[in-house]
Amino acid sequence: MVNQSPVETALSRAMIRWSLTKSVPVAETPRSWVFRVEQNGRNFAAIKILKPAVSLEEGRGARLLSWYGGDGAATVFDIHGDTIFMEWLDGGTLGDAVRAGRDEEASIALAGVVGNLHRPREDAPDDLEPLRQRFEVLFETDVRAWPHTARDLYARCAGIALKLFDKPMPQIPLHGDLHHDNIISSDRGWLAIDPKGLIGDPHYELANAFRNPVGAGKLAADPRRIAAMADIFAVRLGLNRKRLLGFAAAHSGLSVCWDLAAGNPITADLAILPNLLSAYDQA
C-alpha cells in the first residue's frame, strides 16, 4: 500500500467523518488545499484543509466564519482540527463585477455584506486577534526599508494609525481581509469567505476594499473612486467618513510593510497611497 500524504489522509478522514463522496481537487493556495465534494449524491460542498504553518491564523478565521452562521458569509457545517467542511460557492466574485465596469454596484454590495457580518451576535470566538496587534508590523518597520522617496508616506500612515487607535471605539469581530475577490455570488446573495478573525474598530473592515480588486490598480488610485467608495460606506453603514479613509491609508501602509518584508513589489500601494492620504486630509 502506498503511503498517503498528510493531506490525503486528512481528506479521506473527512470523507468518512461527514459521509461524503467524489472529491475533486479545486485549488492549492499558500494556506490551504480545497476540494469539492458531494453530499448525499446531490449537493456539492467544500472541504478546506489548512496548511500547518498557517493553521493558527486560518483556524481563527474559520471559527469566525462559523460564528457568522451563514449570514453574509459562506456557511461552515463543521470544523475538525485543521479540516473545514463548508458550503460550496462557485459564483463570480465582486472583483469580477468591478473588472466588468460595475464598480459602484460592487461598492454597494460590499457595504451590504459588511452590514450582515457586523450584525450583533452572541458569544463571539474568544481568540480573535486585536486589530492594534495586527498593526505592530507598521509601527515596528524601520523607515529605511521604504524607498527614499516614499518615507514621508510611511510617516503619515504610522501617524494616522496611532491617532486612530488613540480614540476609543467599539470593539467588534472583524473579517479582517474583506476585498472584492473574497466575496462570492450565490443563490443566497453575496457571501464572504476567508476571514482573518480580528477584533477592533468596525471602520477598519472596509480598508482593504480601497486597494482592490486585483487588476484594477488604475481605478483604485483614482481620487473620484476613493471619494465615491467612502461616501457609499459612510452613508450605508453609518460610519465616519474620515475614519474610513484613515484606516484605508493606514492599511495601505501596513500592506507595503508586509510586502517589503516578503520581497514583493509595492508599486500598486505607492500609487494609491498619496490619493488616500489626500482624501483623508480633505475629509
Amino acid at 145: A
Whole-model pTM?
0.94
Range scoring the smallest mean pLDDT among 24-33, 95-104, 127-136, 161-170: 24-33
Q: Which CATH number fits domain 94-282: 3.20.110.20, 3.40.50.720, 3.90.1200.10, 3.40.50.150?
A: 3.90.1200.10
Question: In which band, very low, low, confident or very high, does the pLDDT at 171 lie, cut at 50, 70 and 90?
Answer: very high
Q: What is the pLDDT of residues 175-191, one digit of tens each?
A: 999 999 999 999 999 99
DSSP lists the bridge partners of residue 144 as none
- Marked catalytic residue, from 177, 187, 201, 269: 177
Q: What is the CA radius of gyration of the chain?
A: 20
The domain defined by 6-87 carries CATH number 3.20.20.70? no
Per DSSP, helices labelled H in 55-134 are: 55-67, 94-99, 103-117, 131-134
Q: Is there a contact between 74 and 184 (Cβ–Cβ < 8 Å)?
A: yes
% of the chain surpassing 90 pLDDT: 90
Question: Which residue, 86, 242, 82, 62, is CA-closest to 164?
Answer: 242
- Residue 234 has, within 13 A of its CA and on its CB side, a CA count of 16
User: What are the two backbone dihedrals, phi and then psi, of residue 24, each rounded to the nearest 5 degrees?
Assistant: -125, 120
Total residue count of the chain as it appears in this document: 283
The residues spanned by each domain of the chain are 6-87, 94-282
Nearest Cα neighbor of 10 from 25, 29, 67 is 25
Average pLDDT, the chain: 95
Cβ 239 vs Cβ 245: under 8 Å: no
Q: How far apart are CA 222 and CA 2, in angstroms?
A: 55
Q: Which residues pair with 32 in a beta bridge?
A: 50
Q: What are the backbone angles phi and psi of residue 214, rounded to the nearest 5°?
A: -55, 140
Q: Does the annotation mark 177 as catalytic?
A: yes
Closest CA to 134 of 195, 193, 83, 183: 195
Kindly report, residue by residue over 7-61, the tens digit of the pLDDT: 999 999 999 999 999 999 999 988 899 999 998 777 899 999 999 888 888 889 9
Give backbone dihedrals phi and psi of 221, rounded to 5 degrees, phi first. Answer: -85, -5
Q: pLDDT, tens digit, for every residue of 74-107?
A: 999 999 999 999 999 989 999 999 999 999 999 9
Q: Please give the pLDDT value at position 57.
A: 83
* Burial (CB count within 10 angstroms: exposed 0-12, middle 13-18, buried 19+), residue 39: middle
pLDDT at 3: 75
Kindly report whether the peptide bond that precedes residue 6 is cis, defined as omega within 30 degrees of 0: no
Which pLDDT band holds residue 2 (cuts at 50, 70, 90)?
Answer: low
